[in-house]
């Protein structure tokens, strides 16, 4: 009881300071551009830490350690795909997107694509913004559920009240300061996240080495992985197909009496599926690309690149190690919920005060994603759908007020979705976001940056086909065999190439 009260006190203090910091930064927001993209004036270090907090959030602190705990060394392939995608994004795309946003004076993700392909800009705004807003409603809802679950597990509060509190945490400074407040509060969260992902593995290794032989499942990571079995201790996952019934049945029907070939092909497909997170980072996640677009100058973009790459490498190594340390402490079957491995490891290793601060960072990570998705949805809706209907005669002050009102309305809708729609549906649509939006928009961004022949009509066709393919593929059950995170990217790329050559282009016209 005493530890719980201490944890609540730490959490309340942290969240209060976070809200005050966000409101302080929001005082500098005077225009729509400030609200939507921080006036394209973010320092490199802010953009880098905000992008990393938004991109990883609960994934780095709950999802990846949990996956490493459940699968052992196999999860290296997922980490490799993510890290390589993030590094490519920072080295190849970040400065180009920053320069393009400045060139076209773009305030939103879809606004950039529409201005780049002005021959079909109107339809790009409509299709792109509606798609992002619709799917991100559910994405925000999933973050609210995740925050409610964290509060329920950590301090025992009812999950419904926990979801309400998450919205109360997120909404005030997000409505007031928009993208600027969200980005600067993300900095605090990124710092706590990286401290957690550095401190926990170091403390864990020291803890394991100082324990008696039989007091834990294992006294080192290597011993834990070997003791857990071949499926944990090899990069191919050992008897990997045993846990993938749909894929195993599919290959057995396709290649009867070919056990060795089935085993090798199955392992290859599963490893490719793990690595496939790579494709979603290539410009296709709007909430991340907006951080690139908001960087103040080319010099600041180089600074952001260096910080973003170093943060990523350290964080992913730490997240994997926490999962493996969890195996050593609790054993492979010791936790009911694999995604509680980081909180369980932290409470085992640290004093309650330190553990409280680090676990609060998990909640902060959920909040960092929720407010980023919320502000992105609000600005896409306000700037690309409502603003054209409103006309150009309105005053900047009224436009800023409109953006804030839209943000407030969307937060209420997201909370209602979290309450009334089944969690399975919400998390299914989160899967659509990474494959459908990530894979599809990655193709759109890459071709927009690097291929001059790519035009507006082809952009719209790419978006529609990529998203529809993802929905059909997942709903058909084929996702259990080959993930749409791979297929959507290549289907969208093929469609984009064909549409560019087969459909007439009118780039000389402005629509």
Residue 489 lies inside a defined structural domain of this protein = no
* pLDDT above 60 (res 84): yes
Residue 197 lies inside a defined structural domain of this protein = yes
DSSP letter for 209, please. Answer: H
* pLDDT number for residue 2: 64
* pLDDT number for residue 58: 72
What are the beta bridge partners of residue 295?
42
Residue 233 lies inside a defined structural domain of this protein = yes
Residue 133 lies inside a defined structural domain of this protein = yes
Residue 345: count of CB within 10 angstroms of its CB: 28
* pLDDT number for residue 168: 84
More confident residue, 146 or 95: 95
162 and 367 Cβ atoms separated by less than 8 Å? no
* pLDDT above 60 (res 301): yes
Q: What is the DSSP string of 356-385?
A: HHHHHHHHHHHHHHHHHHHHHHHHHIIIII
pLDDT digits (tens, 9 = 90+) for 234-245: 887 554 555 566
Categorize the per-residue pLDDT at 171 as very low, low, confident or very high, splitting at 50, 70 and 90: confident
Domain count, the chain: 1
Q: What is the mean pLDDT of the chain?
A: 85
Residue 279 lies inside a defined structural domain of this protein = yes
* pLDDT above 70 (res 252): no
**pTM of the predicted model as reported, rounded to 2 decimal places:** 0.89
* pLDDT above 50 (res 46): yes
Geometric angle at alpha carbon 48, from 47 and 50, rounded to 5°: 65
**Which domain covers residue 302, as residue numbers?**
2-422
* pLDDT number for residue 511: 40
* pLDDT above 90 (res 506): no
Kindly state the tokens that stand for 482: 């080959």
Q: What is the mean pLDDT of residues 83-97?
A: 95
More confident residue, 83 or 247: 83
* pLDDT number for residue 136: 85
Residue 469 lies inside a defined structural domain of this protein = no
Residue 511 lies inside a defined structural domain of this protein = no
* pLDDT above 50 (res 7): yes
Q: What is the mean pLDDT of residues 62-86?
A: 91
Residue 153 lies inside a defined structural domain of this protein = yes
The CATH number of whichever domain residue 395 belongs to comes to 1.20.1730.10
* pLDDT number for residue 88: 96
Question: Rounded distance, CA 284 to CA 135, Å?
Answer: 14
Categorize the per-residue pLDDT at 323 as very low, low, confident or very high, splitting at 50, 70 and 90: very high
């Amino acid at each position: 009881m005493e530890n719980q009260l201490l944890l609540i006190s730490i959490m309340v203090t942290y969240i209060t300071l976070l809200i005050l910091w966000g409101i302080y930064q929001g005082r500098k927001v005077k225009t729509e551009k400030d609200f939507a993209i921080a006036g394209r004036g973010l320092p490199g270090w802010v953009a880098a830490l905000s992008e990393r907090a938004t991109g990883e959030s609960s994934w780095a602190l709950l999802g990846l350690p949990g996956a490493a705990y459940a699968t052992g060394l196999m999860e290296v392939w997922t980490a490799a795909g993510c890290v390589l995608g993030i590094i490519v994004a920072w080295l190849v795309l970040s400065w180009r997107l920053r320069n393009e946003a400045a060139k076209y004076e773009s305030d939103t993700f879809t606004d950039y694509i529409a201005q780049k392909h002005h021959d079909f800009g109107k339809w790009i705004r409509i299709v792109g913004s509606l798609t992002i807003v619709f799917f991100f409603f559910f994405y925000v809802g999933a973050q609210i559920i995740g925050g409610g679950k964290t509060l329920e597990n950590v301090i025992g509060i009812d999950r419904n009240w926990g979801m309400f509190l998450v919205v109360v945490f997120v909404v005030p400074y997000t409505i007031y300061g928009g993208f600027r407040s969200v980005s600067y509060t993300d900095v605090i969260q990124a710092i706590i996240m990286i401290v957690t992902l550095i401190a926990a593995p170091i403390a864990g290794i020291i803890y394991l080495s100082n324990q008696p032989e039989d007091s834990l499942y294992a006294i080192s990571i290597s011993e834990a992985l070997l003791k857990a079995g071949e499926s944990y201790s090899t990069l191919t996952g050992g008897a990997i197909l045993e846990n993938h019934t749909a894929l195993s049945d599919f290959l057995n029907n396709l290649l009867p009496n070919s056990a060795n070939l089935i085993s090798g092909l199955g392992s290859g497909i599963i490893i490719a599926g793990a690595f496939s997170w790579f494709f979603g980072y290539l410009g296709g996640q709007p909430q991340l690309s907006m951080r690139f677009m908001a960087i103040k100058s080319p010099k600041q973009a180089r600074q952001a690149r260096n910080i973003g790459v170093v943060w990523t490498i350290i964080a992913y190594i730490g997240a994997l190690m926490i999962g493996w340390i969890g195996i050593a402490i609790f054993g492979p079957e010791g936790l009911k919920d694999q995604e509680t491995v980081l909180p369980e490891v932290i409470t085992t290793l640290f004093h309650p005060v330190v553990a409280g601060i680090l676990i609060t960072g998990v909640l902060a990570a959920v909040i960092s994603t929720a407010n980023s998705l919320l502000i992105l949805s609000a600005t896409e809706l306000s700037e690309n759908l409502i603003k054209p209907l409103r006309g150009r005669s309105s005053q900047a002050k009224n436009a800023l007020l409109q953006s804030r009102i839209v943000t407030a309305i969307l937060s209420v809708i997201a909370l209602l979705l979290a309450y009334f729609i089944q969690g399975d549906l919400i998390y299914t649509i989160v899967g659509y976001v990474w494959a459908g939006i990530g894979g599809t928009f990655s193709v759109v961004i890459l071709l927009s940056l690097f291929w001059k022949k790519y035009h507006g009509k082809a952009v719209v066709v790419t978006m529609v086909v990529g998203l529809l393919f993802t929905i059909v593929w997942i709903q058909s059950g084929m996702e259990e065999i080959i993930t749409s995170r791979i297929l959507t990217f290549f289907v969208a790329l093929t469609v984009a190439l064909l549409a560019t050559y087969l459909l007439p282009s009118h780039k000389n016209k402005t629509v």
